[in-house]
Amino acid sequence: MDPKFASLMRGNIQTDLRKWLKLNCKEAERTLQKLAQKHGCLLNCSALGRLLGVSYHTVQNRLAELEKAGW
């Protein structure tokens, strides 16, 4: 992929995350990375929250926002 195009897309995604989802890109990326490590298992929001250093309510809210966006 062209680096300029990738940079443009990254900027658009970050803007969308901030504007529509009230999440910054770093929070969303960390949440998705930790969630991917648990892929195929039952989701335990409390355990995921401990890995991320946030409450399970925050995990549930982040996942709900990402789901609304179609991620």
Residues in the chain with pLDDT < 50?
none
Cα angle: 61, vertex 55, 53; to 5 degrees: 115
Instruction: Note the pLDDT of residue 16.
Output: 63
- Position 70 in a domain: yes
- Position 55 in a domain: yes
- Position 9 in a domain: no
* Amino acid at the residue 40: G
Query: What is the SS3 assignment for 21-71?
Result: CCCCHHHHHHHHHHHHHCCCCCCCHHHHHHHHCCCHHHHHHHHHHHHHCCC
Number of separate domains in the chain: 1
The answer to pTM > 0.85 is no
- Position 54 in a domain: yes
- Per-residue model confidence as pLDDT tens digits over 32-47: 787 777 777 788 899 8
- Position 66 in a domain: yes
